[in-house]
């Protein structure tokens, strides 16, 4: 039976460097909606869900208007718990993790990572397009892992740090290393681009980025 792939987009309004960046306008609409539209273009994804803090009401309203398959609300700091709840409620066999600050996120990267995961003869539980070494530019990050690995991370409370809970996959990477699959592309000038949004300066800069083949 084909595994059920659920894409979970994490977002919040309380970024220290750029408060409310998920709702900042980018090319005429809130930044988070660009992410949603791009994730929806991945043909291997069965459902698209958002995982957001309970009190981020303005963000929730925008996402509700986007008619996602689900919006899961939880602790602002314990993002891992939000992922666990979203994956459980939407019966995920496989999770695609996407962050909500990447309005130029690549559906091709997402599809490639999922395909590599599903076709992996070694049956590794964690794949990514690690943008520090894969040739994919920062801001196209995609991580794919099994529900079982997420469950193990969620249950490993005695060894999880606050950073593990906030950043979701750090425990998984430590546990699975060196058995982590990396989906790569040719290194070129695109590889050096920074397409994620951490500050308002980043947002202004990527507004000027010409269309790139991602």
pLDDT for the residue numbered 110: 98
Query: What does the mean pLDDT of the chain come to?
Result: 95
pLDDT for the residue numbered 157: 76
CA distance 63 to 51: 10
pLDDT in tens, 180-207: 999 999 999 999 999 999 999 999 999 9
CA distance 31 to 40: 15
Tell me yes or no: is domain 5-206 CATH 1.20.140.10.
no
Q: Residue 135: left (phi > 0), alpha (psi -120 to 50), or beta?
A: left
Residues 6+ apart with CB under 8 A from 91: 4, 6
Cα–Cα nearest to 139, from 210, 206, 207:
206
**Alpha helix segments (H runs only) across 40-190:** 57-65, 79-89, 107-118, 147-155, 162-167, 170-176
pLDDT for the residue numbered 179: 87
Backbone angles phi, psi at 103, to 5 degrees: -70, -15
pLDDT in tens, 161-171: 999 999 999 99
pLDDT for the residue numbered 162: 92
pLDDT for the residue numbered 138: 97
Enter the pTM of the model. Answer: 0.97
Please report, for the chain, the start and end positions of each structural domain, with discontinuous segments joined by +. Answer: 5-206
């Amino acid at each position: 039976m084909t595994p059920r792939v659920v894409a979970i987009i994490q977002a919040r309004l309380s970024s220290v460097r750029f408060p409310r960046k998920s709702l900042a306008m980018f090319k005429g609409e809130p930044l988070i909606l660009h992410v949603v539209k791009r994730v929806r273009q991945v043909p291997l994804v069965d459902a698209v869900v958002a995982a957001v803090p309970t009190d981020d009401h303005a963000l929730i309203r925008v996402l509700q208007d986007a008619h996602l398959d689900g919006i899961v609300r939880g602790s602002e700091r314990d993002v891992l718990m939000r992922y666990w709840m979203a994956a459980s409620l939407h019966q995920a066999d496989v999770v695609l993790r996407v962050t909500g600050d990447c309005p130029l996120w690549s559906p091709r990267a997402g599809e490639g990572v999922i395909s590599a995961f599903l076709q992996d003869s070694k049956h590794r539980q964690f794949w990514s397009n690690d943008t520090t070494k894969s040739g994919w530019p920062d801001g196209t990050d995609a991580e794919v892992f099994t529900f079982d690995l997420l469950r193990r991370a969620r249950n490993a409370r005695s060894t999880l740090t606050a950073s593990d809970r906030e950043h979701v996959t750090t425990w998984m990477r430590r546990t699975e290393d060196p058995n982590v699959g990396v989906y790569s592309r040719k290194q070129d000038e695109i590889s050096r681009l920074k397409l994620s949004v951490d500050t308002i300066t980043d947002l202004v800069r990527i507004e000027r980025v010409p269309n790139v083949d991602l």
